[in-house]
Structure 1
Amino acid sequence: MDSYYRHHVFFCLNQREKGAERPSCANCGSQEMQEYAKKRVKELGLAGAGKVRVNKAGCLDRCEEGPVVVVYPEGTWYTYVDKNDIDEIVESHLRDGQVVERLRI
């Protein structure tokens, strides 16, 4: 059976209180980056059935490497710092099919 989406992208948006034992992706701006990625995917005409879906997720349990995003069906994990990193993931991986090795975890 084929996947409904060519790429299904999950951004960890887990929020912990500052000072918690483990870090939290939400404290690193993951909400803003998820919204930005979703916008970029739409702008590039990549959104929709058979294409790309960008979703929010709870804790993906890679807290020390965060903020994190995972792309399925490949199961490619990335970290990112800013919108330039998100652009590179969207354009290189989601549009062109090339894993962004410098951001891969």
Structure 2
Amino acid sequence: MSDNLYYQKHVFFCMNERDDGRPCCAERGAQAAQEHAKRRIKQLDLNGAGKIRINKAGCLDRCEQGPVLVVYPQGTWYTYVDQTDIDEIIEVDLVGGGVVERLKV
């Protein structure tokens, strides 16, 4: 683990909920996707210090492209439709270190 990084990768899922009719991540399955990612990372024994952290976030200001998540420290933004997309992000980016180009926003 790097001296300045507590987590190797930190994933933030936008959970924003708007009540003014504009698109928001919450109405597009963000909660279920975040919970799925968290479960999957635990199943792979990749959670905890020095590994991967899956978090909820307030508005990330990209709901129009959403639902969205962002992976740090590299700052890669993704959209997703279902658990298959989340699994691909986990496999290719979080585990493999690559980028899922088709989901990048």
Q: Normalising by structure 1, what TM-score? A: 0.94
1:9 alignment counterpart: 11
Root-mean-square deviation (Å): 0.9
2:91 alignment counterpart: 91
In the TM superposition, what is the alpha-carbon distance from 1:45 to its structure 2 partner? 1.2
| Structure 2 unmatched runs, 5+ | none
In the TM superposition, what is the alpha-carbon distance from 1:5 to its structure 2 partner? 0.3
Measured in 2, the distance between the counterparts of 1:96 and 1:63 equals 27
Measured in 1, the distance between the counterparts of 2:98 and 2:45 equals 18
Q: How does 1:47-58 map to 2 (within 5 A)?
A: 47-58=47-58
What CA deviation, in whole Å up to 9, does each residue of 1:9-51 have, x standing for no partner? 000001112xx24211000010010000000011111111001
Amino acid at match of 1:74: Q
Measured in 2, the distance between the counterparts of 1:49 and 1:29 equals 27
Aligned residues: 103
Measured in 2, the distance between the counterparts of 1:38 and 1:47 equals 8
In the TM superposition, what is the alpha-carbon distance from 1:2 to its structure 2 partner? 2.3
Amino acid at match of 1:5: Y
Q: Percent identity?
A: 64
Q: Secondary structure of the residue that 1:2 maps to in structure 2?
A: coil
Q: Normalising by structure 2, what TM-score? A: 0.94
1:77 alignment counterpart: 77
| Structure 1 unmatched runs, 5+ | none
Displacement over 4 Å in runs of 4+: none
Q: Secondary structure of the residue that 1:56 maps to in structure 2?
A: strand
